[in-house]
Amino acid sequence: MTTFRFPSTREVNSLPLAERPVRFSVACNFDPELFDALDGQPVYEVYGKLTRDFFGGGRPSFYLPQVDKAGLEKTVQDAHRRGLEFNYLLNSSSMNNVEFTTKGQRELNALLEWLCEAQVDSVTVSNLFFLRLIKKRYPQLKVRISAHRETDNARKARFWEDNGADCIVISETTIHREWAVLRAMREAVKVDLSLIVNNWCRQDCAIASNHAVLLSNASREGAQHFPLDYCSVYCNAWRLEEPVNYVRANWIRPEDIRHYVDLGYTNFKIVERNTPTALLGLRVRAYAQGRYDGNLLDLVQNYAYPRSTFTKRDEAAFSVRRMAKYFLKPREVNLLRFRDIVRWGKSLSMLYPREGDNPVYVDNRALDGFLDHFRNGFSCEDKDCEACRYCHRYAEKSVTFDAAWRRQMTAEFDSLLDTLHDGTLWESYGRTLWREAKGWLKGKAERVVRRPGSGGAAVPNMAGRTFGGRGVAPAETPCAHPRPTGKVSVGNEGPSPQALCQAVKEVPFQPPVVPPCASGCPSADNCAEAHA
């Protein structure tokens, strides 16, 4: 086995930027085969948490792999044997203020004491209170600030450093392409800054904070209720209406890692924790090697994993039994209407493995050069996308859809969102039966299918969108051109992740090095201009 020996987080913080190694923090799916898949890659830690705990975290329980305390303890031990650290996520954005109660404090102390006994190396938190109390009561634990705290400028970074944070995960929705802001943050603090590379949330998402709270409540013991991820439903519907959101999402391509290294960023985080091991291994290898010739969604999409990558353990996570455990709550929702969610989950491969090829293809090679625009000083902060349309042009070059699937999904989303917005998901069972009987007698009404790009249930006012007094709604369906011949996604009908990994297995990882600056500039990017 090949392992990279990296300095600890605290040791990294004492190193000059030019001497900090490029390394990756990787989602832990608690598959016993995970560490073999990471063998030989520049990974310094894995991160995860119990499927449920008293305080919750940043992902809903139904979305996470099943793991109990014994399983997590074994994973920590296995990680340490491989020379890796383990980071525990205590990053809930909402705990109903239970943390300020006697019971909450008792539960917190018990959890942290157990984490220390299990020899967990660090904890990720989403609030100042947890940061300060862990530093005082459990100083042996390193503490990281969650991306859900939306650290997106130098002032916020200084705040967390001043309060003792050992590492800060940068906002996952705002500044990955704001070069001046990233430079200012890196120059402002010594503490390690981590960038999530394969998040695909919409840029400057207006509902990101709301989403974080929603997810947190869906991962707490005894407080989950019906775990409907409304924000995810909405955003996926919006992507179909405005495909540019596949491009202006805040991902970082493997080919562009080196540009962030030039800025002084050397800590990169790879998500998600529900990813099958074979696909997770492919993602790590692609980012470590700095190149991927395929569908960018293979690396960044957090659902629609191909069935061919699933083990029996993965299949159990998408079983009917597991769905019933979390969603079968007849006193909280109308289960007769829940079938709309099940149908949607199957069509989108959200609650089920993906069969066949991915109906959406984002050609990674067509995005070569995309980042240069931002590296050369362009900022989105003071721009209206409708005036710029830079990302729109790249979307037309890189994004394609299966047309029939897109029409079907637009209708599915419209139906599901209408069910949520008009309240029929929660109507009485008697009213639902009466409604369906009435509809059966009259004949089923034809469903209205809105043209993607005209504004469906997700963005109903898009057709009337204007800029400078003129209409800017698309005249035709965006990205409505055939996929290039031979373009297939990984898995099922395409190449297996293992085959793609084998193809680059013999290419040794060469950690990018931040070139030192004679003038002491902490960033090598445009260094000459900085001293002009």
Tens of pLDDT, residues 467-517:
888 988 887 888 988 888 889 999 999 999 988 877 655 455 555 444 444
pLDDT for res 38: 95
Distances (CA, A) of 459 to 430, 444, 462: 32, 26, 6
Give the pLDDT of residue 525.
Answer: 42
Q: Which CATH architecture has domain 9-318+353-369+489-530?
A: Alpha-Beta Barrel (3.20)
Q: Measured between alpha carbons, how far is 527 from 522 in angstroms, rounded to an integer?
A: 9
Burial of 504 (0-12, 13-18, 19+ CB in 10 A): middle
Task: Kindly give the residue spans of alpha helices, DSSP state H, lying in 82-207.
Answer: 102-117, 128-137, 154-162, 179-188
Residues 6+ apart with CB under 8 A from 472: 386, 465, 466
| CA separation for the pair 512, 515 (Å, rounded) | 9
Confidence (pLDDT) at 448: 57
Q: How many distinct helices (H) and strands (E) make up the chain?
A: 23, 12
What local confidence, expressed as pLDDT, does residue 454 receive? 67
- Distance, in Å, from the CA atom of 290 to the CA atom of 343, rounded to the nearest integer, reads 38
Single-letter amino acid, residue 200? W
Domain range annotation of the chain? 9-318+353-369+489-530
For every residue of 20-81, DSSP letters joined together read PPPEEEEE----TTHHHHTTTS-EEEEEE--SSBSS--SS-GGGSPP--HHHHHHHHHHHHH
Three-state SS annotation for 143-154: EEECHHHCCCCH
Backbone angles phi, psi at 124, to 5 degrees: -100, 130
Residues in CB range of 89: below 8 A, 6 or more apart = 47, 48, 49, 57, 58, 123, 124, 146
Report which of 161, 274, 134, 151 is spatially closest to residue 215, judged by C-alpha positions: 274
Neighbours of 222 (CB within 10 A): 7
Residue 427 Cα distances to 334, 335, 470, 485, angstroms: 6, 10, 42, 48
β-partners of residue 194 are 169, 267
Give the pLDDT confidence score for residue 246 in this predicted structure: 96
155-193 pLDDT, tens per residue? Answer: 999 999 999 999 999 999 999 999 999 999 999 999 999
At residue 447, the pLDDT reads: 52
pLDDT of residue 518: 41
Q: What is the CA radius of gyration of the chain?
A: 23
Residue 483: CB partners within 8 Å, gap ≥ 6? 361, 400, 402
**Residue corresponding to tokens 């090095």:** 513
**What does the DSSP 8-state code read for residue 171?**
P
Amino acid 462: pLDDT:
85
- If you write DSSP's letter for every residue of 250-277 in order, what string do you get? S---GGGHHHHHHHT--EEEE--TTS-H
**Calculated CA dihedral for residues 524, 199, 214, 138, nearest 10 degrees:** -50
Q: What does the pLDDT read at residue 344?
A: 84
Cβ contacts of residue 140 below 8 Å, gap of 6+? Answer: 116
Helix (H) or strand (E) holding 124: strand 122-125
Closest of 237, 220, 246 to residue 391, by C-alpha: 246
**Residues lower than pLDDT 70 in the chain:** 1-3, 223, 443-454, 503-532
Residue 337: the pLDDT is 83
Tokens 């201009």 found at: 529
Cα–Cα dist 209/224, whole Å: 18
